[in-house]
Amino acid sequence: MPRPRLAAALAAAICAAALAACGSSTPQSSGGASTGTAGADACAKDSLKLVTAGKLTVGTDKPAYEPWFSGDDPSNGKGYESAVAYAIAEKMGFAKTDVTWTVVPFNTAISPAPKSFDFDVNQISISEDRKKAVDFSSGYYDVRQAVVSYKGSPIDGRTTVADLKGADLGAQVGTTSLKAVQDQIQPTNDPKVFDTNDIAVQALKNKQIDGIVVDVPTAFYMTAAQLDDGVIVGQLPAAGTPEQFGAVLDKGSALTPCVTKAVDALRTDGTLEKLQQQYLANAGAPELK
């Protein structure tokens, strides 16, 4: 073999060895799904496998409630989840004009069916059971649960979890709020289960139940906008590992490590905290003992 060709072969071998030694690791989303290799090139905008080429499609339910969204319009960038979605998009290299929204009911988002979105933000808590059907990004909000009622109700002014055991409580089907009722309060009466929070609010207005368990920001919205005489009885104590909302993706999505990378960057640089202070102030919800 002539010397120039030998030198070229040796150079190629050295290059290949170097690449093998420096291969990227396999990251895991904090949602627990194995997400595969996610090097810089894999998360480059032009390398992403998207529902619509060149566009980032974000799903959420309708109506899109305060304080997560504003004016039932996810595309305006107002409200915590709308602002977070656009911040994620920016970290991934997308301009606001490159983001499109699609309506996705809660139960559809967490089903194993193929997705019509690249990721979904809809106050969906990361759980081991849900991770069997979908991927999650790392958490973008650490959530607490609260009990909402009305002035003069049987539980208005109660200060302990034990005080709620005899109450008639309700929560939305399939939510961690319902799980909190069952696991933390453990009421004597079986909790009432509703398809939506709106139906639960109507039941509370009709005094068919004593209270509703929802996440704290939703509790503030209910008492401010949906109930004329609404009160937050209190927040349930934190239970073990904090519950977190995460962006939902298709199971095994190549986008999962890229969305997680963006969320982690937003937590590190203080953006999530800033947006929480702007949209999700928790003042006024006492801690239940």
- Taking only the tens place, the pLDDT of each residue in 94-126 is 999 999 999 999 999 999 999 999 999 999 999
- Taking only the tens place, the pLDDT of each residue in 253-265 is 999 999 999 999 9
pLDDT of 31 above 80:
no
- Taking only the tens place, the pLDDT of each residue in 69-99 is 999 999 999 999 999 999 999 999 999 999 9
Asked, for residue 212, whether it belongs to a domain, the answer is yes
Asked, for residue 288, whether it belongs to a domain, the answer is no
Structural domain total, the chain: 2
Contact 104, 121 (CB under 8 A): no
Asked, for residue 31, whether it belongs to a domain, the answer is no
- Taking only the tens place, the pLDDT of each residue in 138-178 is 999 998 899 999 999 999 999 999 999 999 999 999 998 99
Q: Are residues 153 and 211 in the same domain?
A: yes
CATH value at residue 195: 3.40.190.10
pLDDT level of residue 283 (50, 70, 90 thresholds):
low
Asked, for residue 109, whether it belongs to a domain, the answer is yes
Asked, for residue 21, whether it belongs to a domain, the answer is no
Q: Are residues 54 and 114 in the same domain?
A: yes
Which range marks the domain in which residue 253 is found?
45-143+241-279
Q: Are residues 257 and 135 in the same domain?
A: yes
Q: Are residues 227 and 95 in the same domain?
A: no
- Taking only the tens place, the pLDDT of each residue in 130-139 is 999 999 999 9
pLDDT level of residue 281 (50, 70, 90 thresholds):
low
Q: Are residues 150 and 139 in the same domain?
A: no
Q: Are residues 207 and 86 in the same domain?
A: no
Asked, for residue 246, whether it belongs to a domain, the answer is yes
**pTM of the full structure:** 0.69
Q: Are residues 171 and 255 in the same domain?
A: no
Residues facing residue 213 across a β-bridge: 147
| Residue type present at position 199 | I
Say what the pLDDT of residue 38 is: 56
Q: Are residues 270 and 220 in the same domain?
A: no
Task: Give which of 237, 221, 170 is closest to 199, Cα–Cα.
Answer: 170
Q: Are residues 55 and 78 in the same domain?
A: yes
